[in-house]
Every structure is written in C-alpha cells, then in structure tokens.
Structure 1
Amino acid sequence: MRRATYRNAALISGAFFLAAAAHAWADSADRFPQEKPVETAVPELPAAVPAAVPEIAAAFDALQTDPATAGLKVDWSALKFYYAAHGNNALWTTSNGYTLLGQAWIVQVPRAVRAGMPMAEQTLFKIAGMTPPVDSASQTRNEALMSAVFVASAVDAVGPLGSAKLRGPAVLDKVAAAKDPGDAIGQQWPAYYRFWSLYAKLPTYVGYYQAGGWPSVPKVDKVEPGQSSSVIPAVRARLQYTGELLAPTHTDEVYDTELQAAVALFQRTHGLNDDGVIGGRTLEEMNVSAEKRLQMIVLNLDRMREQGGKFEPRHLIVNIPSQEVKVVEDGKVQFMTKAIVGKIDRKTPTLDSVIKVAKFNPEWNAPHKIASNDEVRRMRADPSFLESHGFTVYDGNGMEVDPSAIDWHSVGPGNFPYRLVQAPGPENALGPVKLDFPNKDAVYLHGTNQKQLFAKQDRYFSSGCMRMQQPIDMAAFLLADDPDYQRPRIDQIVESGKTVLVPLRTPMPVHVVYMTAWTDEDGVLQFRKDMYRYDRYADIPKDLQPGANLIAEAAEPAKPAKTESK
C-alpha cells in the first residue's frame, strides 16, 4: 500500500506545475522564509471576471464514460446542475491558464497524494496528462476534470467530517468564497502526513460505535502476570474486540503470557508503561467508550485539517499529549526523543517558531514566578540549596547578594526583589543544551538535571518548557550539516562546561501541538489522555447511518493558556 502511494505520487509530482505562476506559488509555499520579505506596494487590480464554459455539461458526460474517471464517486447530474445554476462560470480555469484557486488545486494534489490521500491510479494518469488551457475547448475539459476530481475526494464533499450542507458539489461554493485559496484547498485535501492514515481508521471506529462498543472491564487494584483474577476473562474479551488479542487459547482466570503480550501492546498504544501490569490507568483507558474514541478521532482529524498547512516538509514537532519530540522530513520521522512537558497548572503552550541557535552549557535565569515560588520554598527547606546547585543571587541593581543574608521566610510571591541565575553544570535545570526560539511565552527546548523523570509514565513536570531526554543527540542532529560542529567537537564543548552558542546553518521550524489521537510511523492508532482538558467533542448522532456525516459542525478545542517556563 505504501509503495503504491509513493508510485502514485511520482506519477504527478512533475506534471502539476503547469504554469509559471503555479511554479512560483508552489515554491513559496514549501520554502521556510529565512528573512522577512521587503514589503512593497501592490497595485489594486480589477476584479476577475468569471469566464463561462457553456459546454461543460458535455465534458462531464465524457468524463462519466471515460475509464479513467468513470469510477469517481460523483453525482454527475448534481454537478451539471451546479454549473448551470452558476451560469456555467469557470471556477478553476481561464481561457489561457488557471485562476488562483486553480493554481492551489494544482499545487495541493501531489502534496495530498504523497501524504496518503487515496486516488485511483488511472485518475492520477488522467490528471498528469492535463496541460494548461489554450482555448475554450481545453479550458472546458480541464474545468470539468478538476471539479469532478475535487467533488469526488474533498473531505467535506464526501463526508463523514464537516457539515452535511457541504456534501457533493456544495463544497465548490465554500472554496470559491474563500479568501485564501491555498488554505481552502488544503483543508479539503490535507497534506499533513498523519491525516489520511488516521482518516482511514474512521470506518472501523464508526463500526465499533454502531455496534454498541466494546465490553467494559470491572475495577481491580492490580493484577500482575501469573496471578489469577475474576477480571481476566473480561480483559480478554475487551482486547479481543479491538484486535490486540487474537483468538485466545485460554479461557480461565489466570493472567497468562499470551494475554500479557496483548495488554502490553494496548499499553503502548495508549501511552502507558508496557509492563503488562493491569492497574488503574490501564483499566481507565480500556473503559473509555467507543463513542469517545470516535469523537477523539474526529476532533484530531479536524485539528490536522486546521493546522496541517503550516507544517514545512522538514520540521520539529512536539506533541504535548504524547510527550515526545520528533524531527520529521517528508513525512518520515528522522529523530525522536522523549519529552517532559508542563504541569497541569503550568501548561506548555502550543506555538510555531524557528530554532536558529543551539546553546551548549547554558546558564539559567530563573523566571520570577519560579524563583519566588519554587526556589524560595527549597531555600526554606535547605538553606544551602542555592549554593549547592550553582545559583547566584542578584538584587534589583544587578549587585550580587549573599543568600545567607536574606530572610527567606519573609520573601515570596509578590515580594521577591531578587534575580536567580544558575551557572552551567550537572545541577543546571536546563541540562547541557538549550534550543531557543522566539515566542511570547518564553518557553524553549532543553535538557534537564532530573533524568529519572523520563522513566515516568505521565511526564507533566515542567513549568512550561519542554525537556528532552536526549538533548545532546538532538543538537548534534540539528548541526549535522555543519562540519565545524560534529559530534566529537560537541562532546568536547559539553565536557568543558563553557557556554557556547552555535548558529544552525539550517534553521529548524518548530511546532508545539496538542493531538490526542493519531497514527504512528507503522500506521498503528495511538490515543493519549487529555491531561490539559482541551478536547471538546461534538456529539455523534445516536442513530448514525452508514455514509452519514458524523457531526454537523466541528468542535473548537479550548485555547491553551499563557505559561511561564522552566
């Protein structure tokens, strides 16, 4: 399947950039800007006058009998009626080229196909043979093909996502009215590398929901492999329903190795430690209903549609619920490390920025909120804490202050006229590397002096920043194209303890997102607990019928709050 997708993408990768304008549009869409462009005055142009394609009904009739397009799931009569009702005006084409919307169509198809959008090979051949219009006849053929393909595959047009009002040709009105053609087409043909594989899971979970869902498992404190428990048959039934356990050979109450492997698999796909122990968190995830899992898939597909257009071909992504940092290039994960993210009351914000510098052996300027709360509390418990952990205290004039001269019980939030700076070293809260990037929340990626926390199942311990388990490896990966800073040199710098700033030759776009359902690199569906309570689910119709839309309108997730960092 994956090989076929790549072959299909290759069929059209070179054929779509059909006009000079389309070339420029595609190039600018994929290149991450290194410098702020110079703003120039743009003259006002007269509004475009729609060009009519009076013979388009006949072109649709031809496509309906063409082997390359006859299989498209299109209501051809409705499509012809749509154009007739709109004066047969062209949407995508002109008599000698393409409209801005048409150029967006041309650019987005290969991106979406590369990301996994299903499309028949013969249809792709047909599209690849399309050349820019040069007269009314070629314009009409292209217009008909572009609309037929779009209506047959646009997410809103075919369901089950989005509003039922946009099914079929009605989706054309939505994209025609859009202010940003690229964004409009991108939401209908998402090019985010996880969208289509998650989208493919919808029918299975619709089926689970329509069947009434899986059996629940009674509560139990803990069951370890080899033990006997009355809940074991229920666990077998639960995991057999969703496929983690295939045709069990045991029916008794003994927790056998066959079931242990299935439990461990379930734990991995739900972000739990895969120790095979059946405890509270494992049972909590097993007993999430099929309805909620379906709602999670729908919600996260909507997030991917909304956010997918901002992801460059090569980028670093932090997913807060999965507590991971990944570098992705052309849809493939090139580097991954575990992460520690913000506490529930000091949430990591979602954001988009660019990493331009790696800072080795960084000092840490403790944010005022952290210094006046956390560090003051530690000093009250241990008067030697600041000194033993490499901190220097400065007053409001920048003068160094002896920590022993401060009455730590008289200062705190609202009354802390000091600044705390921690020197590089093994106790430094930022660890050996800091990857900084501009953002309003003053958060960044860095290492940590609390490495033991990476063994935890739920790693919500920071004050907003993202701590990496392998910070030096990540920095070396980002600097791989710099011959002056290969791994041996990096190790020497870290060992020296001296602060060194190294600009990245290739700045790395960074995106911090919040996704609670997705498919991993092997196509395996992953779910994570909504720890920040951002998920807002739309109701699924209780009498959902096959082929019907799942929701009337997509629910908007809660907006992350601004946080401080550590």
Structure 2
Amino acid sequence: MMKTTRRHFLTAAGALAGTALAAPAFAQDILDDVFQSNRRGGWNDQFDAKAAGGEAVQSAIPIYSHETLMYTQQAITEYQNIVAQGGWNEVPSGNKLQLGVVHPDVEAMRRRLMISGDLSQRAGLSQSFDTYTDAALKRFQRRHGLPADGVTGKYTYAAMNVSPQIRLGQLQTNLNRLNQNMGSYQDQRYVMVNIPAAQIEAVENGRVVSRHTAIVGKIDRQTPLIDSAINEVIVNPYWNAPESIVRKDIIPLMRKNPNYLRDNNIRILAADGSEIDPLTIDWSTEDAAKMHFRQDPGKINAMASVKINFPNSHATYMHDTPQQSLFNNLMRFDSSGCVRVQNVRDLVTWLLRDTPGWSRQRFEDTIRSGQNTPVQLSQAVPVHFTYVSAWSTGDGVVHFRDDVYALDGNQELQMSQAI
C-alpha cells in the first residue's frame, strides 16, 4: 500500500479553510502533530494511559442535557476542522492487530487514532502495537459501542474507516435531534431508552444514576419512538402474545412441533376465559392469529420476573428476559419491538423507591412467590424512547453508534447491515 503523506492529508484543506479557522487548538494542530511525531513504541516504554489517550469514556452526564448539547456542538467544530485538513487515512482491514503485533498497518492505525484524539501524539508513530496503542484502540471501541478488547475485528475496522465527512454529518443530524427534544427531558427523574445504542439511562437531578444494557427491536420489528410515563410494574407477569408474534412465530412453530405451546406454558384462551385445546385448531391456516395466547408466569416466561408498563399506542413495554446471554451480543437488535432490560431489578427498585411498602426485599420476595402481582407507582416516572446515534459527553469524547434503522441518511452508517 502507498505510504500516506502530508500532501495527501491536506488535499481538501482549501475548500473548508474558513471553517478551520474557527476550530479549537486541539483540532487545528492535530495533523501537524501527527506528522511531526517521533518514532516510538519500544517495549520498555513506561505505560501511561493518559498519554495514550485512554481517558475514561463513560460519563454521568445524560445524553439529553445542556452539557451534552454543548459538547456535541464543540465536537462538530472539531470534526469540521479535521475534514478541512484532509481527514484521516483509511486503515487496511486485512490483518488482525492486537497487543504485541509488529506490522506496517499498525502505523496507519496509530495515525488514524491520533487524528480522532484517541491516541496522544506523545505516543509517537511506530509499527509496534504497544500498550499506548492498546489503550487508544480500547478507547475508540468504547466510543463506538464496541467490545473494548483491543483487537481489530470487522466492526472495529468498519467504524474506523467511516470518513470524517460522514461522521460530521451524523453529528449534525443528531445535534438537531438533541435540540428538538431537549424540552422533554427537564423532569427531576426519568428513564431514557436510546435505541441505536441499545442502552437505558435512569436519570435523577441531571445525572445518570444507572445505565442498563438493552435489547431493542429488529429492523423489521422496530422499537417505536415514545414519550410516556411509567405507571405500573407487574411482578411475575403473564405474557400476552401480540397478533404479529402469533402470526410470524407461534403458528410456524406449532406446525413444526405440536407440543410447542404446552412445553412453553402458553395457553389459548376464549373470550369467556376458558382454555381452548390446541389440538382442536387447524394450524395449516392462520385462523389462530386472532386468538388470545397467554403464557403463565415463571422462569421461562418471555418477560421472566417483571414487566414495566406505560401508556402508549404501540403496545410496547420494558421487561426482564430469561435469555440473559443476549445482553452479551454486540448487535442487540433482536426483539419484536419491546425493550429487554439487563439488571432490571435494580431499575425497578429505583422506580418503586417512592411507592410505600415496596422495598427491594419485598420485591425480591414477591418474585420468589411466583404470584402475578401488579404494582401501581405512587408517582409516575417519565420514560422516553429516542434515537441518538452520535453525541459527545466530554471534551474530546465523541460517541457514535450503528444507525440500525437507517434514520441518519447515509447507508455507510448502517454498518451492521453492510458487513
């Protein structure tokens, strides 16, 4: 591969020079620093996470906050300047790079990580994947919602090789979303579900008190945008299968395995509440799609221990799941539209905090009882399902996520579908 030169980086600078003049010093001088960087990377270097650009990425600042709005505006200015100075180089994606590897592609990656602010110029340019590079790559991965394992896989390369022009557009699109919806996030306590990040924030007094990994809707069964208020928690819920799941999932499964309903504690109920024998139904048709399918509470219930309700026209809710291993998946877009919550008992305990008589102990005891128990919150907690795929929560910390529902206007940002 032809070696990247300073001339190659600065080719596009003229067109956007006016924008560059307004950018902060961090962005103005970054390419000069990269190309003047000394050669380093020997294994006897003392590791310094700060010098490597390994500052913490996680923040207690809510995505919807005036601070995030300010930082995102600053990030846009920085990315405008990076674009004006020629952007960053494409990193060859044919090799697995990780700590201990010595390869020419490592130098290209180090240069790329310097330009985006993940790797300090003090770490220098080298073909050695050293501890500086390891910390910087993990920082990059965390900013992009990827497993911070310090190993270059297909999703890391895909995120790394999105051009700064496209990233700039993504930031501008999401700044508009933040501006348009900021007024909805002024409550003292609220829950925010960020769909492309597959993450939930419980916010109180302007700070995130807990974050929860989520599983949200598939591309063909998308989680909707919602503004509502959580008014009920159901411990040991029944699961009532929506018609779409009966039609798309249950009927095809019954055709393959006539015992599927029995094995999964799902009953078919008539209008008067009586139970209908599945053997009396012709499963070669879709007549059953209009019937009421209800799963008993229990460990294999689709919602496991708890369901979180809030009024909305989509029949959408949040819930626990018996499939806890799914929270470890990189692409957590696997539901039929509702939102599964990791560590949901912590979230529910926070929601029930002001409801008399519902301590954590009573909540856990009720789960163990196996009894279906609806609990009305004494004070409803606002909940917002939103779509933010790019934001910044600190100086130099810019987050990007996969545009899973293709709402950002550029196919290259829908990486999970392109790979």
Q: TM-score, normalised by structure 2?
A: 0.77
Aligned pair partner of 2:268 in 393, 403, 406: 393
Task: Give deviations 1:399-437, integer Å, cap 9, x for gaps.
Answer: 4122344443x034x763432101111111112111111
Could you say what secondary structure the match of 1:498 adopts?
Answer: coil
- Equivalent-residue separation in structure 1 for 2:304 and 2:393 (angstroms): 29
Could you say what secondary structure the match of 2:357 adopts?
Answer: helix
Whose radius of gyration is greater, 1 or 2?
A: 1
Which residues of structure 2 form unaligned runs of 5+? 1-21, 24-63, 411-419
- Equivalent-residue separation in structure 2 for 1:288 and 1:261 (angstroms): 21
Aligned 1:60-459 pairs, distance under 5 A: 192-220=66-94, 222-246=96-120, 247-248=122-123, 251-252=126-127, 254-313=128-187, 314-395=189-270, 398-408=273-283, 410-412=284-286, 416-459=289-332
How many angstroms does 1:476 deviate by? 0.5
Which residues of structure 1 form unaligned runs of 5+? 1-158, 161-189, 538-566
- Equivalent-residue separation in structure 2 for 1:490 and 1:509 (angstroms): 21
Q: How many residues align?
A: 347
Could you say what secondary structure the match of 2:114 adopts?
Answer: helix
Equivalent residues of 1:327, 1:336 under 8 A apart: yes
Equivalent residues of 2:225, 2:387 under 8 A apart: yes
Could you say what secondary structure the match of 1:511 adopts?
Answer: strand
CA 1:208–1:506: 2 relative to 1, 3 Å: same
CA 1:221–1:350: 2 relative to 1, 3 Å: farther
Task: Give deviations 1:361-398, integer Å, cap 9, x for gaps.
Answer: 11010001101211223333433322222111235665
How many angstroms does 1:193 deviate by? 4.8
- Equivalent-residue separation in structure 1 for 2:95 and 2:315 (angstroms): 41
Letter in 1 for 2:307: K
Task: State whether structure 2 residue 366 is matched by structure 1 residue 493.
Answer: yes
**In the alignment, which residue of structure 2 is the partner of 1:507?**
380
Could you say what secondary structure the match of 2:119 adopts?
Answer: coil
How many angstroms does 1:224 deviate by? 4.0
Letter in 2 for 1:261: A
CA 1:284–1:442: 2 relative to 1, 3 Å: same
- Equivalent-residue separation in structure 1 for 2:123 and 2:226 (angstroms): 45
- Equivalent-residue separation in structure 1 for 2:391 and 2:234 (angstroms): 32
How many angstroms does 1:227 deviate by? 3.9
**Which sits farther off after the overlay, 455-464 or 479-488?**
479-488
Letter in 1 for 2:381: M
- Equivalent-residue separation in structure 2 for 1:383 and 1:274 (angstroms): 44
Could you say what secondary structure the match of 2:79 adopts?
Answer: helix
Letter in 2 for 1:245: L
Task: State whether structure 2 residue 337 is matched by structure 1 residue 469.
Answer: no
Q: TM-score, normalised by structure 1?
A: 0.58
How many angstroms does 1:230 deviate by? 4.1
CA 1:228–1:304: 2 relative to 1, 3 Å: same
How many angstroms does 1:200 deviate by? 2.1
How many angstroms does 1:522 deviate by? 8.3
Equivalent residues of 1:217, 1:283 under 8 A apart: yes
Task: Give deviations 1:427-456, integer Å, cap 9, x for gaps.
Answer: 111121111111111101111111100001
CA 1:523–1:330: 2 relative to 1, 3 Å: farther
Equivalent residues of 1:355, 1:437 under 8 A apart: yes
- Equivalent-residue separation in structure 2 for 1:436 and 1:492 (angstroms): 21
Letter in 1 for 2:154: G
**In the alignment, which residue of structure 1 is the partner of 2:405?**
532
Q: Percentage identity across aligned positions?
A: 37
**In the alignment, which residue of structure 1 is the partner of 2:354?**
481
How many angstroms does 1:228 deviate by? 4.5
Could you say what secondary structure the match of 1:201 adopts?
Answer: helix
CA 1:250–1:296: 2 relative to 1, 3 Å: closer
CA 1:521–1:205: 2 relative to 1, 3 Å: closer
Equivalent residues of 1:371, 1:419 under 8 A apart: no
CA 1:403–1:222: 2 relative to 1, 3 Å: farther
Could you say what secondary structure the match of 2:123 adopts?
Answer: coil
Letter in 1 for 2:343: Q
How many angstroms does 1:311 deviate by? 1.6
Task: Give deviations 1:59-83, integer Å, cap 9, x for gaps.
Answer: xxxxxxxxxxxxxxxxxxxxxxxxx
Could you say what secondary structure the match of 1:236 adopts?
Answer: helix
Could you say what secondary structure the match of 1:355 adopts?
Answer: strand
RMSD: 2.3
- Equivalent-residue separation in structure 2 for 1:404 and 1:236 (angstroms): 64
- Equivalent-residue separation in structure 2 for 1:445 and 1:297 (angstroms): 28
Equivalent residues of 1:361, 1:500 under 8 A apart: yes
- Equivalent-residue separation in structure 1 for 2:67 and 2:381 (angstroms): 18
CA 1:502–1:229: 2 relative to 1, 3 Å: same
- Equivalent-residue separation in structure 1 for 2:78 and 2:271 (angstroms): 61
